[in-house]
Amino acid sequence: MRRMKPLAAHPLTATQIAAITALLGSAHLRTPQDLAALDPGIDPHNFGACLLVRPGSTAEVAAILAYCHAERIAVVPQGGRTGLSGGAITQRGQIAVSLERLDRIEVLDADQRSAVVGAGVKLGVLAARAATVGLSPGIDLGARDSATLGGLVSTNAGGNEAFRYGTMRERVLGLECVLADGTVITELGQVRKRNEGLAVERLLIGAEGTLGIVTRVALELVPARSPVATAMVALTSLTQAVALARHLRTPALVALEIMSGNHALAVVRSLGLIELAPLAAHPWLVLVEVEATSDEQAESLLVDLLGSASEQELLTDALLAQSETQRHAMWRVREDWAVDRERPGGLWYDISVPLSAMADYVARVIARVEALGASLEVFVIGHLADGNLHVTVNAPYPVSERYEAIAPLVTDELTALGGSFSAEHGIGVEKQATLLRLVSPAKLALMRSVKRAYDPHGIMNPGKVLPTESTAPSAG
Ligand SMILES: Cc1cc2nc3c(=O)[nH]c(=O)nc-3n(C[C@H](O)[C@H](O)[C@H](O)COP(=O)(O)OP(=O)(O)OC[C@H]3O[C@@H](n4cnc5c(N)ncnc54)[C@H](O)[C@@H]3O)c2cc1C
């Protein structure tokens, strides 16, 4: 072991900027002055880098990484900058590599039900193209119009359809990626069955840019949705919601999203969705969608399912969407974050828990958090069908600095329950302390070994997922 050459903590030298400009051309470089005029995405710190580069090909990505590897310059890959764990934030002395120009849908194969796309293709764009041949990416989430396939792969994103089709790890057939030293690995097979030794490229799924840069993705597609019927259902308790989930779990179910009443009430008030206000007055709400071969059949199926649920006292009230506008309003209640606007500086925990343990777990979390102070309030939204909840804690004043203090109250019993402290948003910087606390030393040691093998100088997204190492194996 020997001490690594420290990563550049100062702005790049004029020589380094000239070398990078020569690799890409000045049209595709952004200085801090340029960045100040652009939208940094979900986190203002995404644009803290001293340079943002926009390569237009895998070869250019490889050239940048080879140079940064030699010069020990830290690199942060960026897609749509919608990530919620701080994985794309940058600081002085780092280069942000935006994959936005790798935006080609190269293959859309209706027979094989697969696509090969550049890492910068936005999810919504792929979904629209796939729909033209009756297919869908099999993943959907609120940030669909900004999030990129490279970002989705790198965070192992989940979303609304993961209970049917899995997270990105299940959607990916193959990848092309560039490792820290510029080595290109191209494994873009579009078949499910491919046993060709260790699938080394697949370690980049969920690696959050710490092992290399994803440049192309081969994805398995699924049949596009049939017509759907949508309803918002009011419930008295989470126990009732879990029982309802069991009742609705048929092949026709395409969405099952949960909200606590206080979240729904905040959105309804903020957006003036008056007709949903009576439902939002209940302790819990579930948004349910089923599909069938026609609108009429979907509606009749949903009416039957909710009718039998009502007979078994699995719900308190329900409203069927009668138009696309009403359906859109119901989804806004689920996807809007009015609580954050009303009480900024809240805390987000992204957990998953088996349905059988969910109600008691949430009750314990609420009791533990509220015991810390009457002004702290817990709000819950999430993907009920796969037990993924976003537990947020807000107060009339910012509480961001209490993330670490409150985290154990939310996360530390999850492993024993068979759940996870990190469901779908990744570790980034936000969950790093929790990762170090809850993951076994053996797993952490193996993660560090993998990091050194893929990125011996530690240039790839340093400080994300794992803390930056002060020592590393000899670079030779
Ligand atoms: C309104 C909203 C709703 C959301 N809903 C969901 C949801 O339901 N489910 C869910 O899972 N997430 C959700 N997210 C989070 C976010 O959309 C996902 O994490 C998404 O996968 C991030 O993609 P991106 O292109 O924006 O990546 P970025 O935010 O740009 O980057 C995220 C991470 O991936 C790395 N990265 C990006 N591109 C590459 C690449 N090509 N190669 C290597 N590393 C790369 C970055 O370094 C960073 O660590 C939501 C976000 C918002 C704002």
With contact defined as beta carbons under 8 Å apart, do 50 and 32 qualify? yes
208 lines ligand 1 (CB under 6 A): yes
Looking at beta carbons, which pairs linking 184-189 to residues 24 or more positions away fall under 8 Å? 184/58, 184/62, 184/215, 185/212, 186/216, 188/116, 188/216, 188/218, 189/218
87 lines ligand 1 (CB under 6 A): yes
Largest Cα separation within the chain, whole Å, is 74
Cα–Cα separations (whole angstroms), residue 158 to 143, 228, 314, 391, 469: 12, 21, 27, 16, 30
Q: Return the SS3 of 412.
A: coil
Other CB atoms within 10 A of residue 171 CB? 25
Alpha-carbon distance 185 to 293, whole Å? Answer: 42
83 lines ligand 1 (CB under 6 A): yes
431 lines ligand 1 (CB under 6 A): no
- Going by their DSSP bridges, the two strands 94-98 and 51-53 should be labelled as parallel
55 lines ligand 1 (CB under 6 A): no
How is residue 246 written in tokens? 């069991």
The rounded Å distance from CA 416 to ligand 1 centre is 28
* Residue of 47, 58, 123, 154 to mutate, ligand 1, most atoms within 8 A of C-beta: 154
pLDDT in tens, the chain (476 residues): 333 444 556 788 999 999 999 999 999 999 999 999 999 999 999 999 989 999 999 999 999 999 999 999 999 999 999 999 999 999 988 999 999 999 999 999 999 999 999 999 999 999 999 999 999 999 999 999 999 999 999 999 999 999 999 999 999 999 999 999 999 999 999 999 999 999 999 999 999 999 999 999 999 999 999 999 999 999 999 999 999 999 999 999 999 999 999 999 999 999 999 999 999 999 999 999 999 999 999 999 999 999 999 999 999 999 999 999 999 999 999 999 999 999 999 999 999 999 999 999 999 999 999 999 879 999 999 999 999 999 999 999 999 999 999 999 999 999 999 999 999 999 999 999 999 999 999 999 999 999 999 999 999 999 999 999 764 333 32
- Going by their DSSP bridges, the two strands 284-291 and 222-223 should be labelled as unpaired
96 lines ligand 1 (CB under 6 A): no
Taking the CA of residue 114 as centre, how many other CA atoms within 13 Å lie in the half-sphere pointing to its CB? 15
- Going by their DSSP bridges, the two strands 94-98 and 74-78 should be labelled as parallel
Cα–Cα separations (whole angstroms), residue 134 to 118, 145, 221, 438: 21, 20, 10, 43
Q: What is the pLDDT of residue 374?
A: 79
* Residue of 60, 141, 205, 213 to mutate, ligand 1, most atoms within 8 A of C-beta: 141
Residue 266 has what DSSP assignment? H
> Of ligand 1's atoms, which has the minimum distance to the CA of residue 122?
25
